[in-house]
A and B are shown apart, each in its own frame.
Chain A
Amino acid sequence: MITFDSVTKRYPDGTVAVDRLSLEAPTGEITVLVGPSGCGKTTSLRMINRMIDASEGRILLDGVPVQGIDPPTLRRGIGYVIQQAGLFPHRKIVDNIATVPYLLGWDKKKARARAMELLERVGLDPALAGRYPFQLSGGQQQRVGVARALAADPPVLLMDEPFSAVDPIVRTSLQDELLRLQAELNKTIVFVTHDIDEAIKLGDRVAVLRVGGTLAQLADPKTLLSEPADDFVREFLGHDRGIRRLQFISTEGLRLRTDLTVEEGAERGTSEPWLLVVSGDGRPVGWVSGARPGELEPYGTFVYGRDSMRSALDAALLSPSGCSVAVDEQGKVVGVATREALDQALAEAADG
């Protein structure tokens, strides 16, 4: 666990970057520091590994004040991922990843073997090991940056806007990859971003900081969206926080109807305005309207119980039927969530 105990950073010219910040980043969780530029989020991050020293207050790493630890020693025990990856241009990818093991005096063979293992772990082709950083794309470099941070298996990982310099599609895949890795590794991660959507997607807890380095709110993403502490947080969260909050509401318990499906080729008359045509192996084929029998209309699906209400609502909006199709992990139809069922679930969500 990382503890900020009333930490202040004041520069010689009197500027206060961080003002009496107190918060905890629990072990094995992702704590995101988010806020506009000038809110001291990067300064706060760098005070953890003493790239910047706090002026007042204490930062504790599992109860031990970091100010008492020799900076190079402290830093070798903390993984760090920087915005533009910060790879060493003169070193091959494998040696970039093995940087901290080398510094710790590992045997070269062991360090390289570890690097190769990590290269695969972050989803990169082992053939890239012998390349130089400039031969890799931005997204690949950032994966190498993550692998390098993990090389010596540090319990703590600091990430300073690691995905903000890559395009949105790559960013999404890097975020998903981080969540997948974190599910395996359970590191204590402090993640800095200015992007509130990224904060909500990745954070177990999100600390919203305001300009001047004070903590506006520290909460899990769902609470943040439903109960912003003040106007600053509300404004920072943006306009569609109601819709975004739905992504934290499970579809488990959503009422499904199973009498609205019909097997392919067995279409028949019905009093229902829409019926879902299902293939022989249980997969959705399309909606058929009572008004225009024989014409298949598009459908949207969500994985029942795993996907959020946001996905269920999205799936409903993709189909002229206004209903969304609940499927299981294998893609087989479990049932249909009608407008009425969605409406009821939304009403419950709105109540809190």
Chain B
Amino acid sequence: MGDGPPSIWEWIARNWDTGRVDSIRNLLTDHLTMSLVPILLALVLALPLGLACVRWRWLYQPTAGLFNVVYALPSLPIFMLLISVTGLTQTTVIIPLTFYGMAVLLPAVVDGLGSVPDHVRQSAVAMGFTPLRRLLLVELPIAVPVVLAGLRVVAVSSISLVSVGALIGQGGLGGLFTRAYQNPFMPPVVVGIVLIVALALVADGLIVLAQRLLTPWVRARKGQGA
């Protein structure tokens, strides 16, 4: 009680669920939406695009180059540009993050499919796999470790990058940082950083877990070397 600034725990308790859009709970939900949607979209889009780049090799360099240029563009001007189309909405944050994710995942998918040894692909052909079954049952499963390694980078960077959206009022937990900018009061900054890092670690952990379940043969290989 008293007139001094509240402790960090008091501040959290007071702001967790105020019913307002900027309650910590709402910011957390927004943050999750704006990071998970681009991660999943990037994966869903990068898979067919990566397949196309493997099928038509000439497509890869220009496409990868284009995504790299997009990746190099600072996010702020992209937001400004998109606001005229999608307004001050979550979509304005989701679109560039999806492109960033694809810039990482496209090479991961192409390299993953490239990691299928030639003799394995040829023996699949010789066994009588149709091209579609070969892709689904042989090539994609073998590409999984490389794709998931890319996905880990995308997940962590997307969760962190969402906070930039705070500059247009859509930054999820990033909103806690802009608040501190206006009023030098530390608890929101600490809470924001801790929650973002925690989210990133959980997402990373889930992907690692998925990798262990999906690719026991990779663990088996490591066990062999040990």
Contacts and interface: CB of A to CB of B under 8 A. Distances in A.
Interface in A112-150: 131-132, 134-135, 145, 148
B120 A100 contact: no
Interface of A: 49, 51, 71-77, 80, 82-91, 99-100, 103, 131-132, 134-135, 145, 148, 158
A87 B224 CA distance: 17
A80 B221 contact: no
Nearest to A100: B127
Contacts, number: 78
A87 B121 CA distance: 9
Given A72-B129, A132-B216, A132-B217, 16 more contacts: A51-B122, A75-B125, A77-B128, A80-B123, A86-B126, A88-B123, A89-B120, A89-B221, A90-B144, A103-B128, A103-B129, A131-B220, A132-B221, A134-B217, A134-B221, A148-B127
A90 B215 CA distance: 7
Nearest to B214: A90
B128 A72 contact: yes
Interface in B98-137: 117, 119-120, 122-130, 133
Contacts of A75: 125-128
A90 B214 CA distance: 10
B123 to A, nearest CB: 3
Contacts of A72: 128-130
Interface of B: 117, 119-120, 122-130, 133, 138, 141-142, 144, 215-217, 220-221, 223-224
Among B120, B127, B144, B221: residue with most chain A CB under 10 A: B127
* Interface residues of chain B: helix, strand, loop or mixed (majority): helix
A82 B123 contact: yes
B126 A89 contact: no
Contact of A90 (B126, B129, B141, B224): B141
A73 to B, nearest CB: 7
A89 B137 CA distance: 12
B217 A90 contact: yes
Contacts of A103: 127-129, 133
Contact of A76 (B119, B128, B221): B128
A132 B138 CA distance: 14
Given A89-B217, A134-B224, A80 B141 contact: no
B215 to A, nearest CB: 7
Given A83-B119, A135-B224, A100 B128 contact: yes
A135 B220 contact: yes
A132 B225 CA distance: 13
B115 to A, nearest CB: 10
